[in-house]
Every structure is written in structure tokens, then in C-alpha cells.
Structure 1
Amino acid sequence: MSDARRKEPRLPDDGVGITGARVLVVGATGEIGGLAARSLHRRGAAVALAGRDARRLAERSRRSGACPHRVFDAYDLDGCEGLAAWAVRSLGGLDRVVVAVGVAGFGSAEHVGEAAAEHLMTVNALAPMAVVRGALPLLEAGGAVAVVTGAVVDAPPRGMADYAAAKAALAVWLGVVGREQRARGVRVLDVRMPHLEGGFAARAVTGSPPALPPGADPVATVERLLVAPLAGAAGRER
């Protein structure tokens, strides 16, 4: 049987309430977004995928039952804001949103050029904000958004001022939005993902990563910190 036709076994819901949910995964061609999409699909969710890499996006769509997919550019903030409306049209509604968009950057502040600084702020903060901004009016009570920030928010190291500032800006924004949405019954989850194995740091937009300790297992960590809280288990709610 070809890879396009092979279906992965559906996993039991494990009591976390994701079966039948309609979920938009933004950043689905990255490692975290791809793992989240795979897990959500295997647990019975209907997913719509948005990502930057057209070839990889089409491949991951096939692995998720030929689900709807759309290429987007993080610099197109209006396009980012419109992704949720596209998902509603594609899935017939929207219950959950995953935002796993980001790019690393390294170097002391005086060595980070303005173009790189703008890129880090746009991709790591403004683009995720735009996605969430477009999704909130379309989510009803019981809906949720899960946005990946990072452990760097809690302990920003030297040599990562611009990257940490972008992630911290996103985290503060999510905190306020979470309080605003609480009365509506919409959860806003800030996913403080730790350093993972997988090469994210090696694909930095500027600078070179310092020596890093071994990262956490991506599959288990995404399941524990992103998928389970999104589905309804205990998590960091803002």
C-alpha cells in the first residue's frame, strides 16, 4: 500500500475530549505543529493545516486523511488573521486552534541587525497574534487556542535578547487575552515549550546557537504540554 493511502490507527480519546473537534493547526510544517497535527488526527479530530512549506504541507495533509491545507506567509499578517475563517469554511466550524509558529535567533543585541530583529518579532509575536485575533470571534464557549511561546520566557539567556523579547511579548499578550476571553468560556493556553531535540536552534535566522544540553523528546513533550491541555486536561491557562 502506498504512503498516500496508508492510514495510521486511530488512538483512543483517553478521556481528554478531542474526538470530533475541528482544529486549525498553524505552523503544521514545523516539528511541533506537525507532531500536534498528527496526534490530533489520530485521536479523532478533524484538522485543517496551515504551513510555510508547500511540499511538506501537502505530504502532512495526506497523512491526516487528505485534510484541508493552506500555505501562508508569516509576514502576511492579514493572511494570518484570515486563516481561522478559512478553517471554518473548510471544516464547517472551529473548536480549537494550535499556533506553533516561530524562528530562533542568536547573538548579543549589538550584533543583531535590524532586519533580523524585525523578522524575529514578526514571526514569533505578530504573526501568532494575528492568527489568534482572527480566530477569537469564530470560537464559541468551550473553544480554545494553544499558542507555543517557550521556556525562554521564564529564563531568557544571554545572546538571545531579541528572540526572548518576541516570545515574552507574545506571552504577555496571551495573558491579557486569556483574561478577556474567560467570560466567554474560551480558553487561551500559553505553551511554554522547552528545548527539544530536532534541530530548531540550528535553523536560526541569525547567529549561531550556543552549546545546548540534550533536548526533551519532541513526541512526548508535544503530547503532554500541547495536545493534552488543548483537549481539556490540566494546563497553563492564561
Structure 2
Amino acid sequence: MEIDGSHVLVAGATGAIGTALSAELASRGARLALAGRDPGRLARAARTHGAAATAVFDAYDPGSCASAVHRAAEELGGLDAVVTVFGTVAFGTAPSVGDEVAEHLLAVNALAPAAFLRAALGTLRDGGAIAAVTGVVAERPMPGMADYSASKAALGAWLDAVRRETRPRGVQVLDIRFGHLDTGFADRPVAGTAPPLPPGGDLGAAVRAVADALHSGADRVVTAPDGTYAPERHAR
């Protein structure tokens, strides 16, 4: 996808990753629509990044996720990419986390991004892309993070299946598998307390890798053992 001149919706645009990615895409010439849950923060982000449209959504309301896509497509005159970069985390053993928190994680981390991307598949212009942050836990589930890992793995499985469904249409499906980043995300769990974590990766390098992956048509952004990020094509 050619980013310069493209129309991109960033969902979760007021978070640390969303803010950095919006800035990166705007610097490369993308025309942005931004979606978030806080109207005030969303308005400020739109001014900062020169976004042409905004939409408020509730991750517990899949209809609002789809509506955000349709509004962005209408305001921008079509979409070339939809990228979801929001989520939530919980820490603790499976019994201590419990069913209600597990349901919350699945709703926010898997069902809501899928709602955005499902709607996007019906609105993308030719050669478009959908993308979502899953993280390394999607392939390497972590003890003390069973339900969080499961919610991200569910989204990763969904992306893998949709990639095969849409390949004949030329739709890019990008799975963004970041390792730990210093964004403060782990300091805001819905349950439990974060264990000691290694130093976080470079957020600027991470979002540059996402933009590069969108441009190159990659299937994944992977995190190498040395903490660097790289596009990966033809993931299975």
C-alpha cells in the first residue's frame, strides 16, 4: 500500500501506540481518521495529527466499532487501511482472574478489533489493508497472563483465517506482534499486578515497522530476540 495519500483509520488513537502510529502515518502523508473512547482526548489527537474525521466507540458495543468504520469511510471518501491498536490486560493465575475479567479481556482484545476489521472488509478500496496489534503472547502464552494471552491468540487466529479468505481479493492482513513496550499499558491492568518486566522496546521503532509493513504488504510485524522489529511475509 502506498501510504502517501492513503486514507487510514486508527482505532485506539488516543493511547500511546495509537498516538505514535498516527504521528508516523501522518508524517508519511496519510490522511487520517481517528477512533477512541474519550471525546476530549480524541478531539485533541485530531488537532495534533490533522485528522479529517473522528469517531467515538465503545469496545463493549460491536455496533459502535462498525459505525466508526462507516463514518470514517464516509468522511474520507473511502478507506485504504484500518488499524486497531487498543486493548486491555490482566495479571494473575486463571482462578484469581475469574470469569468476568476473562470475558472483558475477550470482548476488548478480540471481539472489538474483529468488529472494526470485519466492517473494514466491506468498505476498503482496492488493495487495502487491515491490521491489529496482538503481541508476542499470541504465539507464546505466558503464565500469570492466561486469559490475556488467550484473548490475543484468538485475535491472531481470526487474522490468520481472514488472511486466507481475502487473499484472492488482494487484501493485506497484518498481525502486529510487539513485545513489551514502555507505554504504561502494564501499569493499568483490569486485575492483578504486573510482574517484573524487562525493559520495554522502542515505541518509535515499533510504529515505523508497522508503517513499513503496511507499505510492503507484510503479513506480520515480529519482534526479534534483540528487541528489534521486522516485517514478515507469507506468515502461516
Within 5 Å, which residues of 2 pair with 1:21-40?
21-40=6-25
Aligned counterpart in structure 1 of residue 120 of structure 2, from 127, 135, 141: 135
CA displacement at 1:104 relative to structure 2? 0.9
CA contact (8 A) 1:190 1:236 kept: no
Aligned counterpart in structure 2 of residue 157 of structure 1, from 139, 142, 147: 142
CA contact (8 A) 1:140 1:186 kept: no
1:99 maps to what in 2? 84
Partners of 1:214 and 1:131 in 2: how far apart? 31
Deviations 1:121-158 (A, max 9, x none): 00000000000110101113310011110011122111
1:227 maps to what in 2? 211
Aligned counterpart in structure 2 of residue 166 of structure 1, from 151, 168, 175: 151
Within 5 Å, which residues of 2 pair with 1:57-68?
57-68=42-53
CA displacement at 1:160 relative to structure 2? 0.3
Within 5 Å, which residues of 2 pair with 1:116-127?
116-127=101-112
Determine what percentage of the aligned residue pairs are the same residue: 51
Note the residue ranges of structure 1 that are not aligned, 5 or more in a row: 1-15
Quick one: which amino acid aligns to residue 229 of structure 1?
A: A
Number of residue pairs aligned between Structure 1 and Structure 2: 222
Partners of 2:178 and 2:66 in 1: how far apart? 23
1:10 maps to what in 2? none
Partners of 1:107 and 1:218 in 2: how far apart? 26
Deviations 1:217-238 (A, max 9, x none): 11111211x1111122643455
CA displacement at 1:32 relative to structure 2? 1.0
TM normalised by structure 2 equals 0.90
TM normalised by structure 1 equals 0.89
CA contact (8 A) 2:33 2:52 kept: yes
Deviations 1:151-185 (A, max 9, x none): 11122111000000000000001000000000001
Partners of 1:203 and 1:55 in 2: how far apart? 20
Moved more, 145-154 or 175-184: 145-154
Detail structure 1 runs of 4+ shifted over 2 Å in the superposition: 231-238
Quick one: which amino acid aligns to residue 118 of structure 1?
A: E
Note the residue ranges of structure 2 that are not aligned, 5 or more in a row: 219-230
Q: Secondary structure at the match of 2:125?
A: coil
Partners of 2:206 and 2:144 in 1: how far apart? 25
Deviations 1:8-42 (A, max 9, x none): xxxxxxxx721000001001011111111111111
CA displacement at 1:85 relative to structure 2? 1.0
Aligned counterpart in structure 2 of residue 212 of structure 1, from 188, 197, 222: 197
Q: Secondary structure at the match of 1:145?
A: strand
Higher strand proportion (structure 1 or 2): 2
